[in-house]
Structure formats: C-alpha cells, structure tokens
Amino acid sequence: MILHKGKYLELVSDGHWEFVRRTNCSGIVVIVALTRDGKALFVEQFRHPVRGKVIEWPAGLVNDKTPHDPESMETAARRELLEETGYEAGKLSLITEGPVSSGLSTEIITFYQAHDVVKKGPGGGDDTESITVHEVPLREADSWLYEMGKKGYLVDPKVYAGLYFLKK
C-alpha cells in the first residue's frame, strides 16, 4: 500500500515493512573512473537530506530524463560521467550491483568502471546541480578522503567500495 506519493518518491507499506521507492527512474549507476594518468575522479556536492557536502563517485539515475526513449544502464553511466565530470569513457566495464540500503529503499545501484577516460567538457552537472570535480591520484586517495572528512565533508561509503575495485 502506498502511504504517500511525492513527485519522485513513494513511501510504501508492505506487511510490517515501510520503505521508499523511486518513481522517476529505472535504476541508478555509479561510475568508478580513473584517468589515463592514474587519477580517481570524485565529485563533491551539497546533499540536502544530510545537510552537508558529500564526496562521491559520479552517479545518476537511469531513464529520469527520457522515459519515452529508454536508455540502457551503460548509456546512462556514460551520460552521467560526462555531465558530472566532463570526462568521457573509452570503455565501461560492469563491476557489480546491489542494494543501497536494503531496509529503507528498493534502490539497486549498478557500478561501472570507466577506462581510458578523456576530458571532453566542463562537467559540473546539469542546471539543477552544482558539482565540483576532484581529480585525485589513486595512490593518495585514502589520505585525501581522510583529510576531506576532517574538514567536515561526508564521504559516501560507496567510495571505498569503488577504490577496492580500482586497486584490485
């Protein structure tokens, strides 16, 4: 049963469970990107639910802009990487997929690794976003993330999962 329906989310009751479900997309992609010179591409943006700036991988919704012309997960990953960072991937590889918060949401995220990324544009997100791109040498990523945390930034734990795959 739908307890509340907003513009983008529904609060659902199913037995003794209450959870949220997105209504405006068919999936979520996360792009773990490494430049040719060994820099990880992180994005920073203010996230209203946590009232703070968050360090994340480039990511986004699938089929949130073109429901009449469905896009594949890989197409969405390419679009989001370019839109948020200004980088284009030579190749994308599927890494893994899984739930974001299995007790709260129906969301399943799909991780892609972007290979041979090349700067093609300014990045920064679309007209509803204000994204700062950080190019961090992979060998310095752990200490950089630690320092960002000390400065008050929130670091999305998915960043560490992505680093695991990059370092593998």
Please tell me the total count of domains within the chain: 1
* pLDDT confidence of residue 129: 86
Is residue 122 one of the residues assigned to a domain?
yes
Per residue in 39-64, pLDDT (tens digit) is 999 999 999 999 999 999 999 999 98
* pLDDT confidence of residue 67: 60
pTM of the predicted model as reported, rounded to 2 decimal places: 0.93
Q: Kind of pairing, strands 9-14 and 2-5? A: antiparallel
Is residue 2 one of the residues assigned to a domain?
no
* pLDDT confidence of residue 52: 97
* pLDDT confidence of residue 125: 85
SS (H, E, C) the chain: CEEEECCCEEEEEECCEEEEEECCCCEEEEEEEEECCCEEEEEEEEEHHHCEEEEECCEEEECCCCCCCCCCHHHHHHHHHHHHHCEECCEEEEEEEEECCCCCECCEEEEEEEEEEEECCCCCCCCCCCCEEEEEEHHHHHHHHHHHHHCCCEECCHHHHHHHHHHC
Is residue 61 one of the residues assigned to a domain?
yes
CATH number for 85: 3.90.79.10
Instruction: Determine the structural domain holding residue 147 and report its residue range.
Output: 25-167
Residues of the chain with pLDDT under 50: none
Is residue 1 one of the residues assigned to a domain?
no
